[in-house]
Structure 1
Amino acid sequence: MEDVNKDEVFEKVEEKKDEVVETEEAVEEKLGEKTERLIEEMKQQLEELKAKNAEPSPEDVAREEKMKELWNKEVNLELRMAGLEDFAEFINVEEHNSKQLQEKIQKFQEVLGKRELSSGYVPQNHRQTDKYSLAEKNKDTKSMIGLKLSKFFK
């Protein structure tokens, strides 16, 4: 009886083993199908998100324009405060980079300062005006004669 029971048990175990293998294969197949569907869905969602990000919304465009306008106003204000508003078109800086703007303004002021010093009036044959020339200019003959005679009596 024990042999029969062992054989029956062995047969039942083999049957169950085959059923388990078949069940595992079916589960793996279903998981594979579900995984593939999920991957496809995720790819579609990713493509939709990329399409949305590629086209900026009207609100984003308006916000960017406002930010550019605000930055340009800030640049113009800084240039006006530095007395360089006439040179606004020559000063190019990255947006929202105040440090770079200040550096450019400072360099521009240094260059203009050097240019002003070098282009200022520099007299070439400048003589100091003496008392005789001053008297001659004022047509004061008494002073002119007195100055000429004072040279003789020194």
Structure 2
Amino acid sequence: MTTTTIKLTVNGEATELRTEDPAMPLLYALRNQLGLHGLHFGCGLAQCGACTVHYDGEALRSCVMPVSAVAGARIVTLEGLGTAAKPHPLQQAFIAEQAAQCGYCINGMIMQAAAFLASNKRPTEAQVRQALAANLCKCGTHVRILRAVMRAAQQMA
């Protein structure tokens, strides 16, 4: 088989991904080759949001995006949003509001909210609900997640 090399930027660092299957989902390359485990495999159908990353600043479901389609792109994962020493305001707010129960959906919620807040500096609660409507949380922490996003929006404004 032929190996394909895909060049892109992940969390601010130039990266080369090598694969024998250019149709491999970006999710697998990020988790398995780069060791980025903030994003999760949820449904594999782009319906739950657990695999959300930023693709050139926009929220993207990485489970259905072929790695070959992101050549030259800027990808940001949860690990690139903030650090333990300096967390992103959304990460701080999720901790303060205790918005995670099992934590499986949190990557998607934070990444979707970060992309949303980048273009909506003073959202209403209804706008946040709409922005996160396609992200699923089985634990039912939606109220705390909403509070966390609203808290972060206030801090970021």
The TM-score normalised by the length of structure 1 is 0.23
Q: State the structure with bigger RCO (CA 8 A, min sep 6), 1 or 2.
A: 2
Greater fraction of residues in strand: 2
Greater fraction of residues in helix: 1
The TM-score normalised by the length of structure 2 is 0.23
Larger Rg over CA atoms: 1
